[in-house]
Structures are given as C-alpha cells and as structure tokens.
Amino acid sequence: MLFEDLSLSKSIQKAVFEEGYLNPTPIQEQSIPIVLAGRDLIGCAQTGTGKTAAFAIPIIHQLHRIVGSSKKAKVIRALVVTPTRELAVQIGQSFDTYAKYTNLTQLTIFGGVSQNPQVDTLKKGVDILVATPGRLLDLQKQGFLDLDNLHVLVLDEADQMLDMGFINDVKKIVKLTPKNRQTLLFSATMPIAIRELAEMFLQDPAKVEVSPVSSTAENVEQRVYFVEKTEKRNLLYHLIKNEDLSNVLVFSRTKHGADNVVKALRKKDIPAEAIHGDKSQNARQRVLDAFKNKEVGVLVATDIAARGIDIDQLPFVINFDLPNIPETYVHRIGRTGRAGNGGIAISFCSKDEHPYWKDIQKLIKVDVKTISDHPYQWHAGSPEATVEQPKNSNRSGGAHKSRKSNASKQNKKRWY
C-alpha cells in the first residue's frame, strides 16, 4: 500500500512525500482508515512503529476539511495527552511537519518552564493541543483553555502514564471533554488498568496490534555477556574503549543505578549522562539534546525515561541490568535498528539475573550470540555452564502477522 491509497488530502500527501515516506507502516496502514471512519481506537504498538503518524495524519486530514482556510477564531479541536515533555515535543513536531501545507496550528504545553508563552499562544487560539497532564490541568483550572469544542482526544503511551501515576489526572482530563468526542488510546503494553481505562472511556473501539511484543527487529544483532555482577561497570568501560563504542544507550533498572553507572564512567573520562524520573524536565531535555548532538557519548536511562528518546540512527543499546519483565527487553532493544538501519543490542547477565535471561529467551525465540571472550566472566562452577550456546548469531524469525482490525463497522455518529 502507498500513502496515496489512503485518500488523504493533497496537502498532507505532499508533506508526507517530502519526508521520504511512500509506504505506511503496518500500524499506519491499519489505523488511519479507522480514524478517518470516526471510530474509537485502541492501538497496541511499541516505539518505532510509526504510531504518532498513525493518529496525527488522519486528525490533520479531518481538521483540514473542517477548518480549511477559515479565518474564524481558532478553538482546540484535537487534544493529545502524553506523559513526558520529550514525547510531547516530538508529537508536536510531527503535527507541524504533516500539517505544514494546511492552515492548522498546534501548540505543545508542558510543565517545568514558564507558562506565559504557552498562555499567550492559547489566547490567540490553536487547532491542536499536545500536552502533559499536569500543565494541562493547571492551565484549565486557571481558565486559560477550553475543551468544549474538542472533536478528538488521543491518550498516548497510556501504560507509561499509568507507571508515572498520571491515570487520575487522565480521568479528570477526559471528564473535561465532550462525550461525543472520538477517543484514540495507544499503549506499548495492555495491563489490566489500561484495559479498564479503555472500557471506561472508549465506545465500541476498533483494536489494532502490530509488531507483537515477542518479535525483535531482524536488523538488530543481539549479544549476551555472562558477567560477575560486581564487574559490570568494568565490562561496560572495557567494551566502550576496546570496541570504540559511541552514541550508546545504556539501560539501568533503577534511578540510583543509572547515576552510579554515570559516576563510574566519568571517573574513566567517558562523557556520560543519566536520564530518569528524578531529573527535571529541563535537565532531561538538555541531556537528550546533548546526546542527540553527540556531545555526550553514553546515555544511561531507566525504562520510563527512555520512552521519550526517539533517535533513528542509534547504533548501540546495552542492557546493563536485565529487565525482570521479558517484554521490556524487546522494547529496549527496539531503540536500535530503526528506520532501516542496523544496530547492536548487548546484554549483561549476572548469576542472579539468569532466570530473567531464560524468560527472555522463551519469549523472543531467537538464538542470541554469547560472547565469552572477555575478562569478567562468571567464575568456574557458575550457572554459565548450564546456558545453551547458540548455533548461530541472532536473527529473528520475522514478525508475526498483525491482527487486522475490522473497520467495516464504521460509526458515523462522529464529528465528521
């Protein structure tokens, strides 16, 4: 399928083609017709699948039909709620990109910065608002924004909003919107709390699920190092120096652990920074910008903070700590090998993490290459002897078939 097959306006097609996109990704191909049909939607997709465009493009298409070149006062017709500043900025940039040949305007609001410029823009009027929950509710309480004319609400990264304690704020936001809105909910995972949220606020939603969580990218080379727990920092430094690694995203299970890894690397004169929930949004943005600009060679992140990282050409991901949830492993290594580029995912497995590694292998069903030629292996008599050696280097067996949503039950009661 081509984007031109989706019956999008010429203005949007022009913007999409200028970005070099000819074929929609699976989630775009399945979601865009559903959104255009006016149905509520639950999208289950991990980062890197093209999820933002899957909702931004059809929203722009429909708003462009309504607003056109009208000079009337602008009102908020689309609202996207997302958990972090980084994600909000990226989504806002996507709307700007796809809507650049339309008369639509968007504003991104978040906390941690002065509200005055945001309030000034709100007073002038915008069509599309991208917001983090706290700043949105704050400005609404102050009377600076009105959601009475809202047509479509997007709840993005719903599971992360759950993890960060925003679900009650999300419920408050939804109650501020018209009942006849269209609601789109996207989440990388679907825990019970998110399914309950969907049942509460979505009406007869279509469901789209792509890139099953058990499938790892075919162009990501996976390696595992069995290492003494106390030697992980030494192994990390050893790889960075001897393998000449740069632009490396390192995953730590905890905020404290992330800070300690950074301290250890800096002592070895390796430029490194940490990004996690205890950092202010301004600090996280500065660190992220420095990493993207390659001013910092190593970024150490927790899983929640890493959701806001969107870098197409990220060559290396290192699991300093193995996740205790196998699906998290797939999300982590999906940060590399994106946009057709190759990537390498390296995992450190200590003795106490061996059960985690077994669970990961059961999920991904891929032979991951074991690297034993390093100075920090488990000692003799350790569980390493029980680890089955792979027959070949990793290559996933291909993505599972995505479940096709039934878009034939189109609900015409919506706003278009």
Q: pLDDT in tens for each of the 416 residues of the chain?
A: 778 888 898 999 999 988 888 888 889 999 999 999 999 999 987 766 788 999 999 999 999 988 876 667 799 999 999 998 888 998 999 999 999 999 999 999 999 889 999 999 999 999 999 999 999 999 999 999 999 999 999 999 998 888 788 889 999 999 999 999 999 999 887 888 888 999 999 999 999 988 655 666 677 899 999 999 999 999 999 999 998 888 899 999 888 999 999 999 999 999 999 988 777 767 877 888 888 888 999 999 888 767 656 666 788 999 999 988 887 888 888 888 665 567 899 999 999 999 999 999 988 888 899 998 898 987 644 444 334 333 333 333 333 333 333 333 333 334 43
Q: Are residues 100 and 48 in the same domain?
A: yes
Which among 209, 233, 264 is the end of a domain? 209
Examine residue 297 and state whether it is found in any structural domain, yes or no: yes
d(CA 91, CA 130): 7
Locate all alpha helices (DSSP H) within 113-254, ordered by sequence.
116-124, 133-141, 158-163, 167-175, 192-201, 232-242
| Nearest residue to 284 via CA among 260, 264, 308 | 308
Q: Are residues 202 and 231 in the same domain?
A: no
Examine residue 255 and state whether it is found in any structural domain, yes or no: yes
Q: How many residues does the chain have?
A: 416
The pLDDT of residue 307 is 64
Q: Are residues 153 and 91 in the same domain?
A: yes
The pLDDT of residue 190 is 83
Examine residue 399 and state whether it is found in any structural domain, yes or no: no
Examine residue 410 and state whether it is found in any structural domain, yes or no: no
Q: Are residues 197 and 96 in the same domain?
A: yes
Which residue range(s) make up the domain with 157?
3-209
10 Å CB burial of residue 48 (0-12, 13-18, 19+) is buried
Examine residue 358 and state whether it is found in any structural domain, yes or no: yes
Q: Are residues 290 and 357 in the same domain?
A: yes
3-class state of residue 224 by DSSP: strand
Q: Are residues 56 and 147 in the same domain?
A: yes
The pLDDT of residue 292 is 84
Instruction: Output b/e per residue, 68-78; b: 16+ Cβ within 10 A.
Output: eeeeeebbbbb
Which among 209, 240, 255 is the end of a domain? 209
The pLDDT of residue 192 is 87
Vertex 87 angle, CA 303 and 260, to 5°: 35
Vertex 210 angle, CA 205 and 212, to 5°: 120
**DSSP structural state of residue 105:** -
d(CA 186, CA 51): 8
The pLDDT of residue 338 is 65
Q: In sequence order, what are the residues at sequence separation of 6 or more whose Cβ sits closer than 8 angstroms to the Cβ of residue 215?
A: 330, 364, 396, 398, 399, 400
Examine residue 415 and state whether it is found in any structural domain, yes or no: no
| CATH code of the domain covering residue 142 | 3.40.50.300
Q: Dihedral sign, CA of 382, 386, 392, 398?
A: negative
- Counting the structural domains of the chain, the total is 2
The pLDDT of residue 68 is 73
Q: Are residues 302 and 349 in the same domain?
A: yes
Q: Are residues 125 and 37 in the same domain?
A: yes
Q: Which amino acid is at 217?
A: A
Q: Are residues 267 and 304 in the same domain?
A: yes
Examine residue 405 and state whether it is found in any structural domain, yes or no: no
User: Using an 8 Å Cβ cutoff, are 347 and 223 in contact?
Assistant: yes
Examine residue 393 and state whether it is found in any structural domain, yes or no: no
| Element containing residue 65 per DSSP (H, E) | helix 51-67
Residue-by-residue DSSP string for 80-97: EE-SSHHHHHHHHHHHHH
The pLDDT of residue 381 is 45
Instruction: Output b/e per residue, 16-30; b: 16+ Cβ within 10 A.
Output: beeeebeebbbbbbb
pTM across the whole model: 0.63
- The tokens for 321 are 């700590």
The pLDDT of residue 288 is 84
Q: Are residues 71 and 162 in the same domain?
A: yes
Q: Are residues 242 and 169 in the same domain?
A: no
Which among 148, 180, 209 is the end of a domain? 209
Q: Are residues 179 and 292 in the same domain?
A: no
